[in-house]
Structure 1
Amino acid sequence: MANPVSDLILGFQDLVAGMPDLLQPVIVALAGAVPFIEGEGAAAIGIVGGIHPVVAALAGAIGNFVCVAVIVLVSSRARVAVTSRGGRADKPVSARREKFQKAYHRYGTPGVSLLGPLLIPTQFTAAALAATGVPARRVLLWQGIAIVLWTTLITLIITGIITFAV
């Protein structure tokens, strides 16, 4: 059975390779907006597609951050709309939400933002942070730092600048 994420990645790689040079970073940025691909996956797609690593990393990170920014702003406004109308009913907390809240109380916004990509896409982490009332500016700051760090790290590994001795 085909893996939808790997099919999507291969599709983006083919699309990048078939585009004129000026449009290739746009495709990489669009790939960066996709959950589970994100900035680091998009940078890899761009590099494999023949884009200079710095351009691929920038495009992937920008695409990822723009998507996260939209999600944070929408989630923050939705939270304000719901809480200002008194729409906060006492609902049982889901296991997933409880797990997120434990991680948030343990690591805070910086920790959840920096470690979150190891478990779930930045878009999901950002939405959860904003929905729980973390100020949008704080979420965007730490998500931006996380996106830049992870995209840079993966780009450096892919290009061979960072290697691991086995």
Structure 2
Amino acid sequence: MTQLRTWILDLQQVVDTLPGPLQMLAVLLIGMIPFLEGDVAATIGVVAGIHWLPSIVLGVTGTVVVTFLVLSSLGRFGRPRDNRWAEHKVMRRVEQWGVPIGMLISGFLFSVPVTVFIMGAAGLRRPTVLISALAVAVLNGTVAGLLSAGILQWVIDI
């Protein structure tokens, strides 16, 4: 535990030497990477010594930006669903529980932008998919950021 604490404090000292906008940009960019997204970005930001609130906000913002890009680049919205996506794991969850719960469950298992792509390609309603994706991104980032801040406080105080 002492070695972990030393490593975290050394990382925070290195990050403190960087300009504030560069620190924030790094968290935002990590949040834009699918499969890392806002939850990992918020965790990295908190561990690196950035306050939990901007870490969460910037991490989630990165995920939201990528989600909007996926939605805007997907021209299949509005078409009726075809059977091509019917057997996908995400679509089975949607059929069983509906779009919001399917997005919540799939958002924990897959990347939110990937889940949005699958749901959009299957022809689900754009507003429902978008609102569900944003809610899941905020929930994931907030839980991860606050959990990381609590664990970090516990590790450093030991």
Smaller-chain TM-score bracket: 0.7 to 0.9
Task: Identify unmatched segments of 5+ residues in structure 2.
Answer: 1-10, 152-158
Matching residue within 121, 126, 134 for 1:131:
121
Which structure has more helix as a fraction of its residues? 2
Question: Shift in Å at residue 117 of structure 1?
Answer: 2.5
Q: Which structure's relative contact order is higher, taking Cα pairs within 8 Å and 6+ residues apart? A: 2
Distance 1:80 1:153, change over 3 A: closer
- Alignment length, in residue pairs? 139
- Shift in Å at residue 49 of structure 1? 1.5
Does 1:109 find its partner at 2:99?
yes
Shift in Å, 1:94: 6.9
Equivalence for 1:74: 73
Corresponding residue of 1:42: 41
AA of the residue aligned to 1:43: A
Aligned-residue offset at 1:160: 1.2
Work out whether residues 32 and 66 of structure 2, in 8 Å CA contact, stay in contact via their aligned partners in 1: yes
For the structure 1 residues 138 and 80, does the alpha-carbon distance in structure 2 shift closer, same or farther, using more than 3 Å as the test? closer
Structure 1 spans left out of the alignment, 5+ residues: 1-12, 162-166
Q: Following the alignment from structure 2 to structure 1, what is the Cα–Cα distance between the partners of residues 92 and 58? A: 33
TM-score (norm 1): 0.73
Superposition RMSD on alpha carbons, in Å?
A: 2.8
In structure 1, what residue type is equivalent to 2:71?
Answer: V
Maintained 8 Å contact 1:114/1:142: yes
Aligned counterparts of 1:94 and 1:30: Cα–Cα separation in 2:
30
Quote how far apart the aligned CAs of 1:98 are: 3.3
Point out 4+ residue stretches in structure 1 off by more than 6 angstroms.
none
